[in-house]
Every structure is written in C-alpha cells, then in structure tokens.
Amino acid sequence: MVTLAEVAQHAGVSASTVSYVLSGKRSISTTTRQRVEESIRKLGYHPNAGARALASSRSNIIALMIPLRTDMYVPVMMEIAIAVAAVARTHGYDILLLTDEEGPDAVRRVTGSGLADAMILMDVELDDERLPLLRGADQPSVLIGLPADTEGLTCVDLDFRATGALCVEHLARLGHRDVAVIGEAAAVYERHTGFAERTLDGLRTRARELELRLLHRPCEGGYDAMAATLARVFDERPDTTGFVVQNEAAVEPLLALLRQQGRAVPEDVSVVAVCPEQVAIQASVRLTSVAVPAQEMGRRAVEQLVAKLDGRGSDEVVLLAPELTVRASSGPAPVQP
C-alpha cells in the first residue's frame, strides 16, 4: 500500500501539501500541484478510506436501505438502487447496501459507527418505526416514499395521488363511466405502504368529481388470482369498460384473460397501468400508462442528500409529477346499448 507520506517524499513536499492537493482546501502553486499529481499517478496512490474517515469524520458513503422482501415491485427497487449507486458516484460517494432485515437497529449501527454519512430509505411505511430515529439523528437522510407525517424529513416520491387522478381523467375523457381498479396485493395495503393508498385516494377523489363509478380490488399477482378478481369485478359491475392496474404481476394476466373472454382491448375495454415504462412497452398490448420514474427518483434522492451534506438544501418533500403516455390499450368507451 502506498501512503500519503510516500507520495510526499517522492514529490519532495510535505504530507500536508499532498493532502491539500487532493482536497483543494488550500491554494497550491501549479508547479507543486503538477509534481504531486505526477507522483500520485506514478506510485498508483489511493488514499486509505479508513484513515480518511477517521481524520475527517466523513466516510463518503451513503447507506441505502432496501426491502428484503423480494416478492414485490422488484424491478423498480433494482432500478432505483442502481440509479442511486451511479449518481452517488458522480458526487464522490459510495453506496452501502443495507436490507431492512436488521430493522431500526441498522439505522443505529450505521449512524453510531460513522460507517455512512447519510442514509436513503426505501419502501417507507406510513408510520415507519425508523422515522423517529431519523428525526433525532445528526445525519441527514432521504426517504423514497412518503410517510404519513413528513415533519422534519426529506422525501422523494412520485405524486401518486396525482397519478390516480390522471388515470381517471384519461378514462373519463374517453367516455368510460365504470372503472375497476386492480390494485396491489392486499398485504401491501395492510402494511400501509403509502403509495398504494395515495393512488387509490387520487383515483377516488377525481372519480367522485367526474362522476365515475369506481370499484377497487386488491389482487395478488398471477393468473389464478387475476381470474378470480376479474370474475368478481364483472359480476358486480357488468358495465365496467375501464381498468386501472397498479400491480406489475397482474398486468399480463389481465390482458390474457380479457382476450380470452372475447373483450377486445381497446375496442371493448380500456386498460391504464401504473408501472415502469418497460413493463408497459413489453406487454402483449402496448399499455397506456403512468410511468414509475425509478431512475429519476433515485437521482433526486441522492441530489437532495448531497445538498444536505454540503450544508445546502433543507427538509423538503419532492413529489414528481406523473406523466401519462397514451399507447394502444386505451380508446373511446363503446356506446352502451
């Protein structure tokens, strides 16, 4: 291992000078800087992370806490995580991957040990038990997701309420009067994960305003569950012509079942999905959808955090505006007989 001292000796300067070249915290003459940089390159010097962290009480690491559960909206999580890692690097930070297995203890451990300078939490529940710790911590943090009480917290999320409203508006404009919402699995609502409830709220509020009838059904993924759910929907509301789906695992089954039942999309029935772009595009019918902007969410989360670490920025809730892309799965409602 090459050390600072060796670089200094090689360049004929003192250790502190090398340090200042590296950090830029004091002005250094061009000739000295070049000589030092040359030595660094020649010797293949990399500053020791531990020593740096100890001396500066900055680890340049951001902890990212992702849900252990691998059953749900996995691609979104993955996309966020990768975006976070990539963007963090451009700001000079590395990412420490934490699962929520340890629960709140992980927060204590990481803040307590100075392992990371800050945290990003994903999959935040409305009344998450980690929140009090974050509020009390001296380290900045950002949530991806929106808890019930955002006081003293910084959050980044898609505006799911607006997302719901947007879906309803689209279907209403096309003339649909009876709309069914195929939601996430019941477990997701029970955990009080904010996004599912907020979408529903947006859907309901706007439906009321536009005088649409709305029927909400949670749904596990897969064919069997979807078949059962669909049967109940048409049983209860035979005139349903519009669907809003917020459940990646239900999208394809829904399309297949509709087809199988002789209901053409979009001639007889319109489908609007809330899902990542890729799912919407790769489906058997190109789906009209509101995209979940995973990368954007990851990016914004990191940027908020870096701003805080730099002493800029403040607690703030960033809600990304949803965008609805019209594709092949939605069209004018059929004229009712």
Partner DNA sequence: AGAGCCTGTCGAAGCGCTTCGACTGCTCTC
Partner DNA sequence: GAGAGCAGTCGAAGCGCTTCGACAGGCTCT
Residues that bind DNA (CB under 7 A): 1, 3-5, 12-17, 19-20, 22-23, 25-33, 45, 47-48, 51-52, 54-57
Between 33 and 191, CB nearer to DNA: 33
Between 40 and 168, CB nearer to its own copies: 40
User: Are 184 and 218 a contacting pair, CB within 8 Å?
Assistant: yes
Nearest CA among 271, 287, 286, 223 for reference residue 249: 223
Binding of residue 33 to its own copies (CB under 8 A): no
The distance of closest approach from Cβ of residue 192 to its own copies in the complex, given in angstroms and rounded to an integer, is: 22
The distance of closest approach from Cβ of residue 191 to its own copies in the complex, given in angstroms and rounded to an integer, is: 18
Binding of residue 281 to its own copies (CB under 8 A): yes
- How many Cα atoms sit within 13 Å of 139 on the Cβ side? 27
Whole-number Cα distances in Å, 140 to 147, 172, 174, 223: 17, 43, 45, 43
The distance of closest approach from Cβ of residue 268 to its own copies in the complex, given in angstroms and rounded to an integer, is: 18
The distance of closest approach from Cβ of residue 28 to DNA in the complex, given in angstroms and rounded to an integer, is: 4
Binding of residue 262 to its own copies (CB under 8 A): no
Whole-number Cα distances in Å, 241 to 44, 68, 280, 333: 66, 37, 19, 7
In angstroms, what is the C-alpha Rg of the chain? 25
Binding of residue 22 to its own copies (CB under 8 A): no
Helices (H) and strands (E) in the chain, counts: 14, 12
Strands (E), 75-212: 94-99, 118-122, 141-144, 155-158, 178-183
Q: Is 96 exposed, middle or buried (0-12, 13-18, 19+ CB in 10 A)?
A: middle
The distance of closest approach from Cβ of residue 113 to its own copies in the complex, given in angstroms and rounded to an integer, is: 4
Q: Which of its own copies, DNA, none is residue 331 near (CB under 5 to 8 Å by kind)? A: none
What is the end-to-end Cα distance of the chain in Å, rounded? 81
Q: Which of its own copies, DNA, none is residue 5 near (CB under 5 to 8 Å by kind)? A: DNA
The distance of closest approach from Cβ of residue 112 to DNA in the complex, given in angstroms and rounded to an integer, is: 9
Q: Which of its own copies, DNA, none is residue 97 near (CB under 5 to 8 Å by kind)? A: its own copies
Site string for its own copies, 42-61 (x = CB under 8 A): --xxxxxxxxxxx--x-x-x
Binding of residue 137 to its own copies (CB under 8 A): no
Distance, in Å, from the CA atom of 120 to the CA atom of 122, rounded to the nearest integer, reads: 7
Q: What is residue 124's DSSP assignment? A: -
Figure out which of the listed residues 13, 64, 167, 301 binds its own copies, where binding follows CB under 8 A. Answer: 64
Q: How many residues bind its own copies (CB under 8 A)?
A: 56
The total number of residues shown for the chain amounts to: 337
The distance of closest approach from Cβ of residue 202 to its own copies in the complex, given in angstroms and rounded to an integer, is: 28
- Which range, of 11-19, 67-75, 209-217, 302-310, touches its own copies by CB under 8 A? 67-75
Figure out which of the listed residues 4, 72, 95, 196 binds its own copies, where binding follows CB under 8 A. Answer: 95
Distance, in Å, from the CA atom of 145 to the CA atom of 319, rounded to the nearest integer, reads: 9
Strands (E), 128-186: 141-144, 155-158, 178-183
Binding of residue 77 to its own copies (CB under 8 A): yes
The footprint of its own copies on residues 203-222 (CB under 8 A) is: 221-222
Does the CA dihedral 118-121-127-129 come out positive or negative? negative
The residues that touch its own copies, with contacts defined as CB under 8 A, are 1, 44-54, 57, 59, 61, 64, 66, 68, 70-71, 74-75, 77-79, 81-82, 85-86, 89, 94-99, 101-102, 108-109, 112-115, 221-223, 249, 252-253, 256, 278, 281-284
